[in-house]
Amino acid sequence: MEWEEDAREIVNAIPVHDIIKNLIIIWAEKLARKNKRDMVTMEEMAQTRDDYFEWFGPEKIAKIQQAREEGQSDEDLDPEIALNKDPALYTIELCHSRFFGCDRDLINVREIGKRVKQKMEELKITDILADKACEVLMPHSTFTISISGCSNICTAAESKEVGIHGTSKPMVTEVECSQCRSCVETCLDRIITIEDGGPVINEDYCKICGDCIRVCPTGTLKASDKGCRIMVGGTFGRFAQYGKELYHNAETDKIFPILEACVDLVKKEWAEDHEDHFSFVINRTGISPIFEHLKNAGKL
Ligand code: SF4
Ligand code: SF4
Ligand code: SF4
């Protein structure tokens, strides 16, 4: 689609990472089609800017503008690049909260990402996997770790060798409910009802995303536990499977002994005479060796 020069200049000047900038371009072109134009004009660009600025909110806009004024490049702003740029047989994916945070994030993916990298280096996973490899190394030879800020799981953590996302489990307190219904309307899983004047949560289906807690104005809903969900052995493609859940809502410090246990399992169980994968290892052994390792290390 064609662009008016002024409109293109505005999109170029919006101080966001290229990933988001490309989405802004697509949104502006959608608006132009809606307005029956074959060119993005200032009208669509102004609307696009308003739509995105409303979505980001003033706090995030201020952070973005400050980072650009300080001359930070996309690379400076994206911690995932630094986590994955050295030769290594692991990759660490972080959700979009890695840039300027996200209204929904429950854990700091930047901080956890750095600590995970440190741990994987300490455990020498690269040397271990390289020594076990029976074919030349390719991208699928890497051990994938994915960290998302909340149970929206924007990094598809369920399909990674180790998948992590932030959690916040709601509890109903004694504080009187104003029956504003914000929690009912916010819960994407539609599992909250207001009964006898207070909220009732169908816990069997709760994704422990903490959204209802965030919007409750009275404090009737509070977090009983905050932490992360940890899964292992997920993969995608030909042998796609969800990771098996180790912990539903654990302290984030639990991640590190679990990484130790996973690398120990790789050392002991990864086949050397044919191509292997951590999901196959987990299918062969189950998750009990991981809990055994944690027990022996006093970190169950
Ligand atoms: S996973 Fe959650 S915190 Fe991360 S970008 Fe998605 S919605 Fe935001
Ligand atoms: S934590 Fe999330 S899924 Fe659970 S009740 Fe609250 S909003 Fe719904
Ligand atoms: S958001 Fe809080 S105050 Fe409003 S209905 Fe839900 S529990 Fe009650």
What tens digit of pLDDT does each residue of 143-167 get? 999 999 999 999 899 999 999 999 9
CA of 193 to the centre of ligand 2 (A): 11
Digit-coded pLDDT (tens) for 56-113: 888 888 888 888 788 887 777 788 988 998 999 999 999 999 988 888 999 999 999 9
Residue 207: its pLDDT value, please?
Answer: 95
Domain residues for the domain of 9 are 2-74
**245 domain-assigned:** yes
216 CB within 6 A, ligand 2: no
Q: In a 3-state reduction of DSSP, which class is residue 114?
A: helix
Whether 137 and 90 map to the same domain: the answer is yes
Digit-coded pLDDT (tens) for 27-45: 999 999 999 999 999 999 9
Give long-range contacts, CB 8 A cutoff, 24+ apart: 122-126. 123/259, 123/260, 123/263, 125/88, 125/89, 125/90, 125/263, 125/266, 126/87, 126/88, 126/89, 126/90
Residue 57: its pLDDT value, please?
Answer: 84
Chain-centroid distance of CA 2 in Å reads 35
Ligand 3, atom 6: closest residue by C-alpha: 183
Number of structural domains the chain divides into: 2
CA of 219 to the centre of ligand 2 (A): 15
Residue 273: its pLDDT value, please?
Answer: 87
Ligand 2, atom 6: closest residue by C-alpha: 212
What DSSP assignment string belongs to 42-71?
HHHHHHHHHHHHHHHHHHHHHHHHHHHHTT
CATH of the domain at 36: 1.10.8.550
* Other Cβ atoms within 10 Å of 83 Cβ, number: 23
Residue of 54 and 74 predicted with greater confidence? 54
User: Best mutation site among 211, 220, 225 for ligand 2, i.e. most ligand atoms within 8 A of its Cβ?
Assistant: 211
Of the residues 41, 74, 107, the one at which a domain ends:
74
CA of 191 to the centre of ligand 2 (A): 7
Of the residues 74, 106, 135, the one at which a domain ends:
74
The percentage of residues in the chain with a pLDDT greater than 90, rounded to a whole number, is 71
**291 domain-assigned:** yes
DSSP-derived secondary structure letter, 235 = B
Digit-coded pLDDT (tens) for 108-147: 999 999 999 999 999 999 999 999 998 888 888 899 999 9
**197 domain-assigned:** no
CA of 95 to the centre of ligand 1 (A): 6
CATH of the domain at 250: 3.30.413.10
Whether 148 and 248 map to the same domain: the answer is yes
**246 domain-assigned:** yes
Whether 146 and 268 map to the same domain: the answer is yes
* Other Cβ atoms within 10 Å of 26 Cβ, number: 10
**88 domain-assigned:** yes
**200 domain-assigned:** no
Residue 15 has pLDDT above 80, yes or no: no
